[in-house]
């Protein structure tokens, strides 16, 4: 693969080093009291109650328009994209709350540990050898605005998930940001229009080693169009796409919870 890869069996959360080079606005976050991005509880970027909203791991493909219908493509999520979860994810994605980088990384790492139980990975090679990867984690492509601003949230989440899988299984896991958007943005289009354009909206900067299982990671899944476009592209590049993960999934129209998800006591 031409793309630089990251062995994530160990390492620090991304962005922590970058926190040392904060802008003036970010410094203000350090000085002024901040509250939980989900519920405004003072003193913490993410309180325990809101963090617990992401503790489950459930399948969500049947909640999407394009992945539903027995396609057999497993898609997991940690939460439904409603209430406090939506506030948290939006604050994280927009860059408005740089202090969410570390706690959201831990959410992704936790999801990776849970996903390790779901993914059928090969056994690690002997210690000391340059281990062959057992999984490639690929983030959904970010748009050029986010890429210019270096707010690559899906790539950060992919590294966190890879970290969790690697530390749980002892496997070598790669995270590689190889997909790019191409053509016009599909944002704002309906599900069918996004599906029609999805196949040509994602390109890959690299092939995938034949037979290497691939997990797609995105921040939020709604119609499934982006994940479906990524799946098709990665398959055409030689990947054996095992599934997808999103931090949150939008419930189907008219519902406030995902399939099989119980209404929460707290307003997540």
Of 41 and 106, nearer to Zn ion (C-beta) is 41
Of 38 and 139, nearer to Zn ion (C-beta) is 38
Query: Could you say whether residue 133 binds Zn ion (CB under 5 A)?
Result: no
| Strand 6-7, strand 172-175: pairing | antiparallel
Query: Could you say whether residue 36 binds Zn ion (CB under 5 A)?
Result: yes
Question: Whole-angstrom Cα distance, residue 105 to residue 112?
Answer: 10
Q: Which stretch binds Zn ion (CB under 5 A): 39-47, 62-70, 186-194, 228-236?
A: 39-47
Q: Which of 38, 139, 141, 224 binds Zn ion (CB under 5 A)?
A: 38
Query: Could you say whether residue 249 binds Zn ion (CB under 5 A)?
Result: no
Question: Whole-angstrom Cα distance, residue 99 to residue 268?
Answer: 19
Q: Which of 6, 8, 13, 39 binds Zn ion (CB under 5 A)?
A: 39
Minimum distance between the CB of residue 246 and Zn ion, rounded to whole angstroms?
A: 21
CA angle, residues 249, 154, 91, in degrees to nearest 5: 70
User: CB neighbours of 10 closer than 8 A, spacing ≥ 6?
Assistant: 166, 167
Of 87 and 159, nearer to Zn ion (C-beta) is 87
Minimum distance between the CB of residue 37 and Zn ion, rounded to whole angstroms?
A: 7
Of 37 and 202, nearer to Zn ion (C-beta) is 37
User: In whole angstroms, how far apart are CA 153 and each of 14, 133, 182, 199?
Assistant: 10, 23, 19, 22
């Amino acid at each position: 693969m031409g793309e630089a890869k990251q062995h994530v069996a160990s390492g620090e959360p991304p962005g922590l080093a970058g926190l040392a080079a904060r802008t003036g606005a970010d410094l203000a976050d350090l000085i002024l009291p901040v509250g939980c991005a989900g519920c405004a509880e003072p003193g913490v970027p993410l309180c325990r109650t809101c963090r617990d909203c992401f503790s489950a791991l459930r399948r969500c493909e049947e909640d999407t328009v394009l992945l539903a219908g027995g396609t057999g493509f497993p898609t997991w999520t940690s939460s439904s994209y409603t209430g406090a979860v939506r506030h948290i994810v939006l604050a994280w994605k927009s860059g408005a709350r740089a202090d969410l980088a570390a706690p959201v990384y831990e959410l992704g790492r936790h999801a990776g540990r849970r996903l390790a139980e779901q993914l059928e990975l090969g056994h690690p090679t002997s210690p000391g050898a340059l281990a062959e990867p057992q999984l490639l984690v690929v983030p959904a492509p970010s748009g050029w605005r986010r890429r210019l601003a270096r707010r690559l949230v899906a790539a950060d989440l992919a590294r966190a998930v890879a970290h969790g899988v690697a530390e749980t299984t002892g496997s070598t896991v790669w995270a590689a940001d190889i997909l790019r958007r191409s053509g016009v943005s599909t944002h704002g289009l309906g599900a069918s229009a996004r599906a029609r354009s999805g196949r040509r909206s994602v390109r890959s900067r690299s092939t995938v080693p034949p037979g290497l299982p691939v997990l797609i990671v995105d921040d939020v899944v709604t119609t499934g169009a982006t994940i479906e476009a990524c799946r098709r592209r990665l398959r055409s590049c030689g990947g054996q796409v095992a599934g997808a993960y999103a931090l949150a999934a939008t419930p189907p129209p008219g519902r406030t919870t995902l399939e099989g998800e119980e209404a929460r006591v707290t307003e997540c």
